[in-house]
Structure 1
Amino acid sequence: MGLLALAGPAQAPREPVPPLPAAIRRLLPPGYAVLDAARGDLNRDTTPDWLVVLNRPNEQKTSDVVDQPTKRPLLVFVGGAGGTYTLAGRTDNAVYCIDCGGIMGDPFMGLTIKNGYFTVEHYGGSAQRWTRYVTFKYDPAGRTWLLHRDGSERFHALDPEHGTTTATTAKNFGRVPLAKFDIYKE
Protein backbone atom coordinates (compact mmCIF):
# COMPACT_ATOMS: atom_id res chain seq x y z
CA MET A 1 0.00 0.00 0.00
CA GLY A 2 1.36 3.45 -0.93
CA LEU A 3 1.98 6.27 1.49
CA LEU A 4 -0.82 8.35 -0.01
CA ALA A 5 -3.32 5.63 0.83
CA LEU A 6 -2.15 5.65 4.44
CA ALA A 7 -2.48 9.42 4.68
CA GLY A 8 -6.19 9.33 3.89
CA PRO A 9 -8.28 11.35 1.49
CA ALA A 10 -7.33 14.93 0.64
CA GLN A 11 -10.65 16.43 1.72
CA ALA A 12 -14.05 15.01 2.51
CA PRO A 13 -16.84 16.40 0.34
CA ARG A 14 -18.98 19.04 2.00
CA GLU A 15 -22.68 18.59 2.58
CA PRO A 16 -24.92 20.34 0.05
CA VAL A 17 -25.70 23.95 0.95
CA PRO A 18 -29.18 24.18 2.49
CA PRO A 19 -31.59 26.43 0.60
CA LEU A 20 -31.62 29.96 1.96
CA PRO A 21 -34.84 31.84 2.67
CA ALA A 22 -35.74 34.37 -0.04
CA ALA A 23 -35.47 37.16 2.55
CA ILE A 24 -31.76 36.34 2.95
CA ARG A 25 -31.06 35.76 -0.75
CA ARG A 26 -32.28 39.32 -1.43
CA LEU A 27 -29.70 40.70 1.01
CA LEU A 28 -26.65 38.95 -0.46
CA PRO A 29 -24.11 41.24 -2.14
CA PRO A 30 -23.76 40.93 -5.93
CA GLY A 31 -20.80 39.09 -7.45
CA TYR A 32 -20.74 36.27 -4.90
CA ALA A 33 -21.97 32.69 -4.71
CA VAL A 34 -23.02 30.87 -1.54
CA LEU A 35 -20.22 28.51 -0.47
CA ASP A 36 -21.91 27.29 2.70
CA ALA A 37 -24.73 28.13 5.07
CA ALA A 38 -25.94 26.91 8.45
CA ARG A 39 -29.15 27.50 10.37
CA GLY A 40 -29.39 27.71 14.16
CA ASP A 41 -29.95 30.00 17.11
CA LEU A 42 -27.08 32.48 17.01
CA ASN A 43 -28.40 34.99 19.55
CA ARG A 44 -30.26 32.74 22.03
CA ASP A 45 -33.73 34.12 21.24
CA THR A 46 -35.07 30.77 19.88
CA THR A 47 -35.75 32.32 16.44
CA PRO A 48 -33.79 30.58 13.66
CA ASP A 49 -30.78 32.55 12.39
CA TRP A 50 -28.34 31.88 9.54
CA LEU A 51 -24.61 31.99 8.88
CA VAL A 52 -23.67 32.34 5.22
CA VAL A 53 -20.18 32.01 3.72
CA LEU A 54 -19.76 33.60 0.29
CA ASN A 55 -17.11 33.16 -2.35
CA ARG A 56 -16.29 34.66 -5.72
CA PRO A 57 -17.12 32.25 -8.56
CA ASN A 58 -13.64 32.85 -10.05
CA GLU A 59 -11.70 32.58 -6.77
CA GLN A 60 -9.73 29.58 -8.06
CA LYS A 61 -8.08 31.92 -10.59
CA THR A 62 -7.88 35.14 -8.57
CA SER A 63 -6.72 34.01 -5.13
CA ASP A 64 -3.04 34.13 -4.21
CA VAL A 65 -2.47 32.98 -0.65
CA VAL A 66 0.85 34.83 -0.40
CA ASP A 67 0.12 38.22 -1.95
CA GLN A 68 -3.63 38.60 -2.40
CA PRO A 69 -5.96 35.95 -0.98
CA THR A 70 -9.49 36.25 -2.34
CA LYS A 71 -11.49 36.83 0.83
CA ARG A 72 -14.65 34.90 1.68
CA PRO A 73 -17.25 36.96 3.55
CA LEU A 74 -19.04 35.41 6.52
CA LEU A 75 -22.49 36.95 7.02
CA VAL A 76 -24.59 36.66 10.18
CA PHE A 77 -28.35 36.97 9.69
CA VAL A 78 -30.68 37.10 12.69
CA GLY A 79 -34.28 36.06 12.30
CA GLY A 80 -37.19 38.30 13.12
CA ALA A 81 -40.97 38.22 13.12
CA GLY A 82 -42.76 36.97 10.04
CA GLY A 83 -39.74 35.33 8.41
CA THR A 84 -37.68 38.51 8.18
CA TYR A 85 -33.90 38.57 8.52
CA THR A 86 -31.44 41.31 9.38
CA LEU A 87 -27.75 41.33 8.51
CA ALA A 88 -26.31 41.56 12.03
CA GLY A 89 -22.64 40.94 11.28
CA ARG A 90 -20.08 40.56 8.53
CA THR A 91 -16.41 39.74 8.41
CA ASP A 92 -14.15 39.03 5.46
CA ASN A 93 -11.45 37.60 7.75
CA ALA A 94 -12.90 34.53 9.47
CA VAL A 95 -12.84 32.03 6.58
CA TYR A 96 -9.57 31.08 4.89
CA CYS A 97 -9.15 31.56 1.13
CA ILE A 98 -9.47 28.70 -1.37
CA ASP A 99 -5.69 28.21 -1.66
CA CYS A 100 -4.85 28.72 2.02
CA GLY A 101 -4.92 24.96 2.68
CA GLY A 102 -1.67 24.07 0.95
CA ILE A 103 -1.49 20.97 -1.19
CA MET A 104 -4.76 19.67 0.27
CA GLY A 105 -6.63 22.51 -1.39
CA ASP A 106 -9.53 24.47 0.01
CA PRO A 107 -9.23 24.31 3.83
CA PHE A 108 -12.79 25.43 4.63
CA MET A 109 -14.70 22.47 6.11
CA GLY A 110 -17.90 23.99 7.41
CA LEU A 111 -19.87 25.83 10.05
CA THR A 112 -21.35 24.65 13.34
CA ILE A 113 -23.96 26.54 15.39
CA LYS A 114 -24.94 25.67 18.95
CA ASN A 115 -26.60 27.73 21.72
CA GLY A 116 -25.36 31.18 20.74
CA TYR A 117 -21.93 29.92 19.66
CA PHE A 118 -20.69 29.26 16.14
CA THR A 119 -17.50 27.71 14.84
CA VAL A 120 -15.71 28.07 11.50
CA GLU A 121 -13.82 24.84 10.75
CA HIS A 122 -10.67 24.45 8.60
CA TYR A 123 -8.35 21.56 7.70
CA GLY A 124 -5.29 21.69 5.45
CA GLY A 125 -1.65 20.93 4.84
CA SER A 126 0.19 18.13 3.08
CA ALA A 127 2.29 15.62 5.00
CA GLN A 128 2.16 18.11 7.87
CA ARG A 129 -1.57 18.55 8.51
CA TRP A 130 -3.36 21.20 10.51
CA THR A 131 -6.82 22.10 11.72
CA ARG A 132 -8.15 25.42 12.91
CA TYR A 133 -11.46 25.89 14.69
CA VAL A 134 -12.46 29.47 15.44
CA THR A 135 -15.44 29.86 17.77
CA PHE A 136 -17.48 33.00 18.43
CA LYS A 137 -19.98 33.56 21.26
CA TYR A 138 -22.98 35.86 21.28
CA ASP A 139 -22.64 38.86 23.60
CA PRO A 140 -26.18 40.01 24.50
CA ALA A 141 -24.97 43.29 26.05
CA GLY A 142 -23.14 44.33 22.88
CA ARG A 143 -25.53 42.51 20.55
CA THR A 144 -22.56 41.11 18.69
CA TRP A 145 -20.39 37.98 18.54
CA LEU A 146 -17.04 37.86 20.29
CA LEU A 147 -14.10 35.57 19.67
CA HIS A 148 -14.45 32.82 22.26
CA ARG A 149 -11.80 30.26 21.29
CA ASP A 150 -9.18 29.83 18.57
CA GLY A 151 -7.88 26.28 18.49
CA SER A 152 -5.60 24.32 16.21
CA GLU A 153 -3.92 20.98 15.88
CA ARG A 154 -0.78 20.10 13.90
CA PHE A 155 0.30 16.57 13.10
CA HIS A 156 2.09 14.44 10.51
CA ALA A 157 -0.24 12.45 8.27
CA LEU A 158 1.65 9.22 9.03
CA ASP A 159 1.73 9.88 12.78
CA PRO A 160 -1.49 11.69 13.72
CA GLU A 161 -1.36 10.47 17.34
CA HIS A 162 1.69 12.62 18.10
CA GLY A 163 0.49 16.06 17.11
CA THR A 164 0.37 19.29 19.03
CA THR A 165 -2.79 21.08 20.07
CA THR A 166 -3.05 24.75 20.92
CA ALA A 167 -6.01 26.81 22.06
CA THR A 168 -6.37 30.42 23.04
CA THR A 169 -9.42 31.90 24.72
CA ALA A 170 -10.73 35.30 25.76
CA LYS A 171 -8.36 35.05 28.75
CA ASN A 172 -5.50 35.23 26.22
CA PHE A 173 -6.78 37.70 23.63
CA GLY A 174 -9.39 39.76 25.49
CA ARG A 175 -12.53 41.13 23.87
CA VAL A 176 -12.38 40.64 20.08
CA PRO A 177 -15.59 41.39 18.14
CA LEU A 178 -16.33 39.32 15.03
CA ALA A 179 -15.72 42.33 12.77
CA LYS A 180 -12.19 42.84 14.23
CA PHE A 181 -11.03 39.20 14.09
CA ASP A 182 -8.47 38.46 11.36
CA ILE A 183 -7.63 34.81 10.64
CA TYR A 184 -4.81 35.93 8.34
CA LYS A 185 -2.83 37.53 11.18
CA GLU A 186 -0.70 35.18 13.22
Structure 2
Amino acid sequence: MAQEPKIEVSVPVNMKQFILKGYNVLDLTKGDLNKDAYPDAVMVLYKKGEEKTSDVIDHPEKRPLLVLIGQANNTYKLAAYSDNAVYCVDCGGQMGDPFTGITIKNGYFSVEHYGGSGWRWTRIITFKYAPAEKAWFLYKDGGEHFHAISHEEVKTQVKTVKDFGKVPFEKFDIYK
Protein backbone atom coordinates (compact mmCIF):
# COMPACT_ATOMS: atom_id res chain seq x y z
CA MET A 1 0.00 0.00 0.00
CA ALA A 2 1.34 3.42 -0.93
CA GLN A 3 1.96 5.76 1.98
CA GLU A 4 0.44 9.21 2.11
CA PRO A 5 2.97 12.00 1.60
CA LYS A 6 4.11 13.43 4.92
CA ILE A 7 3.05 16.92 5.92
CA GLU A 8 6.00 19.23 6.47
CA VAL A 9 6.38 20.12 10.13
CA SER A 10 7.42 23.66 11.03
CA VAL A 11 10.46 23.50 13.33
CA PRO A 12 11.58 26.55 15.33
CA VAL A 13 15.17 27.66 14.72
CA ASN A 14 16.17 26.79 18.30
CA MET A 15 15.23 23.12 17.67
CA LYS A 16 16.70 22.50 14.20
CA GLN A 17 20.05 21.37 15.64
CA PHE A 18 18.35 18.21 16.97
CA ILE A 19 17.31 16.95 13.52
CA LEU A 20 19.66 14.09 12.63
CA LYS A 21 21.37 14.08 9.23
CA GLY A 22 19.26 12.21 6.68
CA TYR A 23 16.07 12.69 8.72
CA ASN A 24 13.04 14.97 8.70
CA VAL A 25 10.57 15.82 11.47
CA LEU A 26 7.46 13.64 11.55
CA ASP A 27 5.92 15.30 14.60
CA LEU A 28 6.76 18.10 17.03
CA THR A 29 4.54 18.50 20.09
CA LYS A 30 5.09 21.09 22.82
CA GLY A 31 4.01 20.90 26.44
CA ASP A 32 5.21 20.58 30.02
CA LEU A 33 7.33 17.43 30.34
CA ASN A 34 9.16 18.15 33.60
CA LYS A 35 6.82 20.49 35.51
CA ASP A 36 8.99 23.60 35.39
CA ALA A 37 8.43 27.11 34.02
CA TYR A 38 9.76 26.45 30.49
CA PRO A 39 8.01 24.87 27.49
CA ASP A 40 9.34 21.45 26.47
CA ALA A 41 8.86 19.34 23.34
CA VAL A 42 8.80 15.83 21.96
CA MET A 43 10.23 15.51 18.45
CA VAL A 44 9.73 12.40 16.31
CA LEU A 45 12.02 11.97 13.31
CA TYR A 46 11.78 9.78 10.23
CA LYS A 47 14.47 8.71 7.79
CA LYS A 48 14.10 10.32 4.37
CA GLY A 49 12.84 7.63 1.96
CA GLU A 50 11.80 5.31 4.82
CA GLU A 51 8.76 4.11 2.89
CA LYS A 52 11.15 2.47 0.38
CA THR A 53 13.78 1.14 2.82
CA SER A 54 11.69 -0.04 5.79
CA ASP A 55 10.73 -3.71 6.07
CA VAL A 56 8.41 -4.40 8.99
CA ILE A 57 9.75 -7.97 9.42
CA ASP A 58 13.45 -7.90 8.54
CA HIS A 59 14.46 -4.25 8.86
CA PRO A 60 11.93 -1.81 10.35
CA GLU A 61 13.29 1.69 9.75
CA LYS A 62 13.58 3.20 13.24
CA ARG A 63 12.00 6.55 14.08
CA PRO A 64 13.94 8.46 16.74
CA LEU A 65 11.96 10.15 19.51
CA LEU A 66 13.70 13.05 21.26
CA VAL A 67 12.63 14.58 24.57
CA LEU A 68 13.68 18.24 24.51
CA ILE A 69 13.63 20.29 27.70
CA GLY A 70 13.20 24.07 27.52
CA GLN A 71 15.91 26.16 29.17
CA ALA A 72 15.83 29.64 30.74
CA ASN A 73 17.72 31.15 27.77
CA ASN A 74 15.07 30.03 25.22
CA THR A 75 17.13 27.04 24.05
CA TYR A 76 16.45 23.32 24.36
CA LYS A 77 18.47 20.49 25.83
CA LEU A 78 18.21 16.85 24.72
CA ALA A 79 17.06 15.06 27.89
CA ALA A 80 16.18 11.62 26.48
CA TYR A 81 16.36 9.70 23.19
CA SER A 82 14.95 6.42 21.88
CA ASP A 83 14.86 4.61 18.56
CA ASN A 84 12.29 2.15 19.92
CA ALA A 85 9.29 4.20 21.07
CA VAL A 86 7.58 4.81 17.69
CA TYR A 87 6.51 2.13 15.20
CA CYS A 88 8.02 2.05 11.71
CA VAL A 89 6.26 3.48 8.64
CA ASP A 90 5.04 0.05 7.47
CA CYS A 91 4.21 -1.40 10.91
CA GLY A 92 0.53 -0.48 10.53
CA GLY A 93 -0.48 -3.14 8.00
CA GLN A 94 -3.07 -2.19 5.39
CA MET A 95 -3.91 1.02 7.27
CA GLY A 96 -0.49 2.44 6.38
CA ASP A 97 1.71 4.44 8.71
CA PRO A 98 0.44 3.69 12.24
CA PHE A 99 1.84 6.78 13.98
CA THR A 100 -0.99 9.15 14.88
CA GLY A 101 0.71 11.58 17.24
CA ILE A 102 2.14 12.62 20.59
CA THR A 103 0.16 13.95 23.54
CA ILE A 104 1.83 15.84 26.42
CA LYS A 105 0.13 16.60 29.73
CA ASN A 106 1.53 17.44 33.20
CA GLY A 107 4.81 15.54 33.01
CA TYR A 108 3.38 12.65 30.99
CA PHE A 109 3.72 12.04 27.27
CA SER A 110 2.01 9.43 25.12
CA VAL A 111 2.96 7.94 21.76
CA GLU A 112 -0.18 7.02 19.81
CA HIS A 113 -0.64 4.45 17.01
CA TYR A 114 -3.53 3.04 14.96
CA GLY A 115 -3.31 0.28 12.37
CA GLY A 116 -4.52 -3.02 10.95
CA SER A 117 -6.83 -4.01 8.11
CA GLY A 118 -10.03 -6.01 8.82
CA TRP A 119 -8.85 -6.32 12.42
CA ARG A 120 -7.89 -2.88 13.70
CA TRP A 121 -5.74 -1.96 16.68
CA THR A 122 -4.62 1.02 18.69
CA ARG A 123 -1.60 1.26 20.93
CA ILE A 124 -0.89 4.14 23.29
CA ILE A 125 2.34 4.11 25.27
CA THR A 126 2.58 6.63 28.11
CA PHE A 127 5.72 7.74 29.94
CA LYS A 128 5.74 9.64 33.24
CA TYR A 129 8.35 12.09 34.53
CA ALA A 130 10.01 11.17 37.84
CA PRO A 131 11.40 14.38 39.41
CA ALA A 132 13.77 12.52 41.77
CA GLU A 133 15.53 10.79 38.85
CA LYS A 134 14.93 13.63 36.37
CA ALA A 135 13.90 10.95 33.88
CA TRP A 136 10.82 9.42 32.23
CA PHE A 137 9.59 5.91 32.90
CA LEU A 138 7.01 3.69 31.22
CA TYR A 139 3.70 4.35 32.94
CA LYS A 140 1.12 2.60 30.79
CA ASP A 141 1.11 0.51 27.59
CA GLY A 142 -2.28 -0.32 26.19
CA GLY A 143 -4.66 -0.40 23.32
CA GLU A 144 -7.70 -1.90 21.70
CA HIS A 145 -8.38 -4.59 19.08
CA PHE A 146 -11.60 -4.68 17.11
CA HIS A 147 -12.99 -5.78 13.75
CA ALA A 148 -13.76 -3.00 11.28
CA ILE A 149 -17.24 -4.40 10.61
CA SER A 150 -18.27 -5.18 14.20
CA HIS A 151 -16.42 -2.50 16.15
CA GLU A 152 -18.84 -2.84 19.09
CA GLU A 153 -16.81 -5.88 20.17
CA VAL A 154 -13.72 -4.07 21.40
CA LYS A 155 -11.03 -5.91 23.34
CA THR A 156 -8.98 -3.60 25.56
CA GLN A 157 -5.61 -4.50 27.04
CA VAL A 158 -3.70 -2.15 29.36
CA LYS A 159 -0.47 -2.93 31.18
CA THR A 160 0.85 -0.72 33.97
CA VAL A 161 3.90 -0.50 36.22
CA LYS A 162 2.41 -3.40 38.23
CA ASP A 163 2.81 -5.59 35.11
CA PHE A 164 6.17 -4.48 33.72
CA GLY A 165 8.01 -2.88 36.66
CA LYS A 166 10.15 0.25 36.42
CA VAL A 167 11.19 0.68 32.77
CA PRO A 168 13.23 3.76 31.80
CA PHE A 169 12.09 5.50 28.59
CA GLU A 170 15.44 4.74 26.91
CA LYS A 171 15.10 0.98 27.65
CA PHE A 172 11.52 0.60 26.37
CA ASP A 173 11.29 -1.34 23.08
CA ILE A 174 8.02 -1.15 21.14
CA TYR A 175 9.20 -4.01 18.91
CA LYS A 176 9.38 -6.53 21.79
Task: Determine if the TM-score, normalized by the shorter chain, exceeds 0.5.
Answer: yes
1:122 is aligned to 2:116:
no
2:79 counterpart of 1:88: yes
The 3 A distance-change label for structure 1 pair 151 and 76 is: same
Q: Does 1:137 align with 2:128?
A: yes
| Structure 1 segments of 4+ aligned residues over 2 angstroms from their partners | 11-17
Matched residue, 1:61 = 52
Deviation for aligned residue 1:15: 7.8
Q: What is the 5 A alignment of 1:13-52? A: 17=9, 19-52=10-43
| Paired amino acid for 1:116 | G
The alpha carbon displacement at 1:141 in A equals: 1.0
Match of 1:4 in 2: none
Alpha-carbon contact 2:8-2:25 (below 8 Å) kept: no
- C-alpha change, 1:12 and 1:137, in structure 2 (3 Å) is farther
Tell me by how many angstroms 1:46 deviates: 2.8
5+ residue gaps in structure 2?
A: none
C-alpha displacement of 1:16: 6.5
Where do 1:95-114 residues align within 5 Å? 95-114=86-105
Long gaps (5+) in structure 1? 1-10
CA shift in 2, pair 1:16/1:29, >3 Å: closer
* Structure 1 CA distance for aligned equivalents of residues 127 and 100 of structure 2: 16
Aligned 8 A contact 1:129 1:157 in 2: yes
Aligned to 1:79: 70
CA distance in 2 between partners of 1:106 and 1:144 (Å): 29
TM-score, normalised by the number of residues in structure 1:
0.89
State TM-score, norm by structure 2: 0.94
Structure 1 residue 14, shift from structure 2 partner: 8.6
Verify the 8 A CA contact 1:14 1:110 in the aligned structure 2. no
Residue correspondences, number: 174
Aligned mates of 2:8, 2:23 — CA distance in 1: 17
Report the Cα distance in structure 1 between the residues aligned to 2:52 and 2:72, rounded to whole angstroms.
41
Cα root mean square deviation, aligned: 1.8
Aligned partners of 1:162, 1:24: CA distance in 2, in Å? 43
Give aligned-pair identity as a percent: 57
What is the match of residue 5 of structure 1?
none
Task: Supply the distance in 2 between the matched residues of 1:32 and 1:12 (Cα, whole angstroms).
Answer: 17
1:149 matched to 2:140: yes
Give the distance between the partners of 2:166 and 2:19, measured in 1 at CA: 28
Contact 1:135 1:147 in 2 (8 A): yes
The Cα shift of 1:13 comes to 9.9
1:3 matched to which residue of 2? none
What's the CA shift for 1:162? Answer: 0.5
Look up the equivalent residue of 1:120 and give its one-letter code.
V
